[in-house]
């Protein structure tokens, strides 16, 4: 770490460049190179891997992959699965859910893409989450609760993540939610065959079981409870409302047409169990994962053979369905999804798109809606679309392109969401969202904080990451401490000192160990500090140009299997879609990780050092990040160790 300006200005510095009486100074260039020797020696540098840098919740992905593969050994008495769970949930308390439904920007960022194919991070995360479910792992080693308490409005991934992180800091909370169950969009926006309810229930309850987290369900702040009362009763208020209203299509009359609805309403009624069948012809406009859920649900629930109701009634909660005899149901005649983009550019996950096609959904790409066709009663009978292209990031009709008329009994819009701020109008920024500063404080409202989709609709993992950041901000506020500047690479970093403490290898006390003259130089064999190590993880994400990719051979991914029904099998098919990896497969897939920016104990530096200067430390002194050391009396600065380091962990730094 660089010396701060303040420390540089101090007059009583302990560390000095020269010994007393030594005033010699010359060009460092003269000293660096001396025939075949150099004053550059191996320095072990920790950087952030791009998987973690790409993860909106900032998970220590490399860390828990190394645990599963066996490179990083769990402490005595803990299985690798439980230890990986502990490491994973430092950032994300929902590994089983995110392992199933996260679109995995971490995999897009994975450096292994420059070798063969990305590491299946999601699949290993699901393995960890499912192992935690099977083993009933809990969150332990919690501090005692302090006197501070936070009101969290919203029990979805953002609010739950914030409650979890606050509790780890000894701060209690009360979660207010206007639903009967926790989970937010994980429960009410995603079908159960993607987020199994028993696993979701366990992951939510595991957070509540930490203690100090009170629940007030079926309670809407701003309606059932006054905002002023919440402000009076709590030390801070966190708005984690989510976005529960869907945007209608930008065509004339959509909002006034009764059988034109939003995906948010459609999916909530299905996920509540109150809509058990739908209309005969479904048309959904979208292109993201939400639109895929609408059409996949439609194929599964089908319609009635003698269907004669208005489909919007069940889809918006005006009516509810009781039990239905399977013999009375049939598949929908038509389920169509339209998107502005090419199929390969749709925001939905590729495998979700492919699954929908297999299930019998018709997908039309590069088309835009222009008109709702209605009957004499003002009900939609079809949607007119035209071929489109993008100009200046805006869809426009293709001149001379085709016109498409798609018949529909129910038209569903899945083009975006916004917040329901009824009773909370003073928080509305004019776009049905709530403004946030870089620390997720509500500008101009001391003691009010915000995170999740209500700031800007995005991924579930984004909401979880914001919940973690805002928890730190809230802790600073309620404890009246300074809010620290967020690091450039703002993730949950591996901490070597924590690892050394865990392995009982922490440095000894510095004070009193050495005479004053001995504190200044020649301390590389001393044990009062971590030597020859630099942590740049808060400033740098490592790329493959710093790595030795020649070490890695192409290895095929260990793929999860999927239970995806065909178009003739899909009706009534609600079994989980994504099957988890077996232990052997999870270990093998984790083994494909290149451990970018951290030693993974390959021995290359030891094997190729021509001077035998690089050596493995003794087993009783070894832990992650401290596997090798350098004998500086032998090192000639040839930089071969740095060249052959696969992970980019070795830099050639200045030494003496």
Instruction: Please give the full DSSP string across 445-473, using - where no structure is assigned.
Output: -TTEEE-STTTS---HHHHHHHHHHHHHH
Q: Of 30-34, 74-78, 222-226, which one has max mean pLDDT?
A: 222-226
pLDDT in tens, 136-180: 999 999 999 999 999 999 999 999 999 999 999 999 999 999 999
Mean pLDDT of the chain: 92
pLDDT in tens, 240-258: 999 999 999 999 999 999 9
Q: Which tokens belong to 501?
A: 């403490």
The answer to whether residue 262 scores a pLDDT higher than 60 is: yes
pTM comes to 0.91
Do 238 and 252 sit in the same domain of this protein?
A: no
Amino acid 514: pLDDT: 53
Q: Which domain holds residue 406?
A: 248-414
Is residue 398 located within the same domain as residue 513? no
**Where is pLDDT greater, at 621 or 414?**
414
193 and 309 within one domain = no
Establish if 65 belongs to a structural domain: no
Rounded CA separation 605/481 (Å) = 45
Within-domain flag for 104: no
Q: What is the mean pLDDT of residues 418-435?
A: 97
Q: Is residue 337 part of a domain?
A: yes
- Using the 3D structure, point to which of 414, 429, 463 is the last residue of a domain: 414
Lowest mean pLDDT among 302-316, 494-508, 599-613: 494-508
The domain that holds 205 is classified in CATH as: 3.50.50.60
Instruction: Summarize the confidence of residues 25-33 as an average pLDDT.
Output: 50
- Does 469 map to a domain? yes
Q: Residue 80 domain-assigned?
A: no
SS3 breakdown of the chain: % helix, strand, coil, rounded to 5? Answer: 30, 20, 50
% of the chain with per-residue pLDDT over 70? 91
Q: How far is CA 49 from CA 122, 437, 542, 613, in A?
A: 16, 27, 6, 28
SS3 150: strand
Q: Please check the confidence at residue 86 and state whether its pLDDT lies above 70.
A: yes
Q: What is the mean pLDDT of residues 10-25?
A: 50
Looking at residue 32, what is its pLDDT?
47
Give the C-alpha separation, 557 to 590, whole Å. Answer: 10
| 276 and 387 belong to one structural domain | yes
pLDDT at 654: 61
Mean pLDDT confidence for 468-490: 96
Query: What's the rounded mean pLDDT across residues 284-305?
Result: 97
Identify whether residues 499 and 647 lie together within a single domain.
yes
Q: Say whether both 262 and 364 belong to one domain.
A: yes
Closest listed residue to residue 124, CA positions, set 600, 559, 602, 624: 559
Instruction: Provide mean pLDDT across the span 51-74.
Output: 96
Residues 266 and 348 in one domain: yes
Residue 344 lies in a domain: yes
Is residue 477 domain-shared with residue 512, that is, in the same domain?
no
Q: What is the pLDDT of residue 510?
A: 67
Let me know whether 200 and 269 are in one domain.
no
- Of residues 291, 302, 297, 303, the one with CA closest to residue 262: 291
Average confidence (pLDDT) over 274-296: 97
pLDDT band at 197 (very low <50, low <70, confident <90, very high): very high
With a cut of 60, say whether residue 29 has pLDDT above it.
no
> Residue 522: its pLDDT value, please?
59
Asked whether 437 and 227 are in contact (CB, 8 A), the reply is no
What is the model's pLDDT at position 10?
A: 46
- Residue-level pLDDT at 9: 46
| Residue 203 pLDDT > 70 | yes
Of 375, 396, 414, which marks where a domain is finished?
A: 414
Distance between CA atoms of residues 536 and 653, nearest Å: 14
What whole-number distance in Å separates Cα of residue 494 and Cα of residue 597?
Answer: 11
With bands split at pLDDT 50, 70 and 90, how would you rate the model's confidence at 491?
very high
* H and E: helices and strands count for the chain: 21, 25
Long-range residue pairs from 393-402, CB within 8 A, at least 24 positions apart, any chain: 395/340, 395/368, 397/368, 397/370
pLDDT of residue 438 exceeding 80: yes
Confidence of residue 638 (pLDDT cuts 50, 70, 90): confident
As beta bridge partners, residue 33 has: 38
Identify the pLDDT of residue 503.
87
Instruction: State residue 127's pLDDT score.
Output: 98
Give the confidence band of 521 by pLDDT, cuts at 50, 70, 90. Answer: low
d(CA 308, CA 266): 18
Mean pLDDT of 415-439: 97
Report how far Cα 2 is from the mean position of its chain's Cα atoms: 31
High-pLDDT (> 90) share of the chain, % = 84
- pLDDT of amino acid 40: 79
Q: Contact, 297 vs 360, CB < 8 A?
A: no
**pLDDT at position 449:** 98
Flag whether 293 is in a domain.
Answer: yes
Same-domain pairing of 340 and 209? no
The burial of 524, by beta-carbon neighbours within 10 Å (0-12 exposed, 13-18 middle, 19 or more buried), is given as middle
Backbone φ, ψ for residue 449 (5° rounding): -135, 165
Structurally, how many domains does the chain consist of?
3
Determine the average pLDDT of the residues in 402-429: 97
Identify which has the larger pLDDT, 21 or 307.
307
- Residue 565 located in a structural domain: no
Which of 22-31, 347-356, 408-417 is predicted least confidently?
22-31
Mean pLDDT of 555-583: 96
């Amino acid at each position: 770490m660089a010396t701060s300006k303040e420390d540089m200005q101090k007059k009583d510095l302990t560390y000095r460049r020269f010994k007393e009486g030594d005033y010699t100074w010359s060009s460092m260039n003269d000293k660096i190179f001396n025939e075949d020797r150099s004053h550059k020696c191996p320095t072990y540098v920790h950087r952030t891997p791009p998987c973690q840098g790409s993860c909106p919740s900032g998970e220590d992905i490399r860390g828990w992959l190394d645990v599963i593969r066996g490179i990083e050994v769990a402490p005595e008495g803990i299985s690798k699965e439980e230890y990986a769970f502990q490491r994973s949930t430092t950032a994300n308390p929902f590994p089983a859910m995110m392992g199933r439904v996260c679109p995995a920007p971490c995999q897009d960022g994975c450096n292994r893409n420059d070798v063969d194919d990305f590491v299946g991070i999601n699949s290993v995360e699901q393995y960890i989450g499912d192992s935690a479910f099977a083993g009933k792992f809990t969150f332990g080693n919690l501090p005692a609760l302090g006197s501070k308490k936070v009101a969290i409005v919203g029990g979805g991934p953002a609010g739950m993540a914030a409650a979890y992180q606050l509790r780890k800091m000894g701060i209690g909370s009360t979660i207010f939610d206007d639903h009967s169950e926790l989970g937010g969009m994980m429960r009410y926006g995603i079908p159960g065959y993607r987020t199994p309810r028993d696993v979701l229930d366990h992951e939510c309850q595991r957070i509540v079981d930490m203690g100090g987290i009170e629940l007030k369900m079926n309670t809407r702040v701003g309606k059932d409870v006054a905002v002023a009362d919440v402000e009076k009763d709590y030390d801070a208020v966190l708005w984690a409302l989510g976005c529960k209203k869907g945007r209608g299509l930008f065509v004339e009359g959509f909002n006034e047409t009764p059988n034109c609805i939003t995906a948010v309403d459609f999916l909530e009624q299905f996920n509540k169990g109150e809509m058990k069948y739908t209309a005969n012809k479904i048309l959904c406009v979208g292109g993201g994962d939400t639109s895929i859920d609408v059409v996949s649900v439609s194929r599964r629930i089908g319609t009635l053979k003698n269907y004669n109701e208005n489909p919007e009634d069940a889809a918006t909660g005006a009516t509810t369905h009781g039990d239905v005899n399977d013999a009375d149901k049939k598949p929908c005649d038509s389920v169509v999804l339209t998107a502005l983009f090419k199929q390969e550019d749709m925001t939905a996950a590729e495998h979700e798109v492919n699954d929908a096609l297999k299930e019998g959904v018709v997908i039309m790409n590069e088309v835009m809606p222009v008109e709702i066709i209605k009957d004499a009663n003002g009900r939609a009978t079809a949607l007119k679309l035209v071929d489109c292209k993008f100009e200046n990031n805006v869809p426009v009709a293709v001149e001379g392109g085709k016109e498409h008329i798609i018949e529909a009994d129910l038209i569903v819009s899945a083009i975006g969401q916004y917040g329901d701020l009824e009773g909370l109008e003073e928080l509305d920024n004019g776009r049905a969202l709530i403004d946030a500063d870089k620390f997720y404080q509500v500008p101009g409202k001391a003691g009010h904080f915000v995170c999740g989709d209500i700031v800007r609709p995005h991924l579930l993992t984004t909401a979880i990451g914001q919940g973690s950041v805002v928890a730190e901000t809230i802790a600073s506020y309620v404890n009246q401490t300074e809010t620290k500047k967020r690091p450039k690479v703002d993730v949950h970093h591996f901490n070597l000192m924590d690892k050394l403490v865990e392995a009982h290898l922490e440095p000894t006390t510095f004070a009193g160990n050495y005479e004053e003259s001995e504190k200044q130089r020649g301390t590389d064999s001393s044990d009062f500090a971590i030597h020859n190590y630099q942590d740049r993880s808060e400033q740098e994400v490592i790329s493959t140009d710093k790595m030795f990719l020649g070490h890695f051979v192409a290895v095929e991914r260990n793929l999860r299997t999927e239970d995806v029904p065909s178009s003739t099998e899909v009706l009534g098919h609600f079994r989980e879609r994504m099957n988890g990896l077996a232990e052997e497969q999870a270990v093998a897939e984790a083994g494909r990780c290149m451990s970018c920016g951290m030693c993974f104990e390959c021995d290359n530096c030891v094997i190729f050092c021509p001077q035998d200067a690089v050596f493995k430390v003794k087993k009783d002194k070894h832990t992650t990040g401290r596997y090798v050391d350098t004998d500086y009396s032998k090192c000639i600065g040839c930089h071969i160790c740095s060249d052959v380091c696969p992970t980019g962990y070795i830099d050639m730094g200045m030494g003496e």
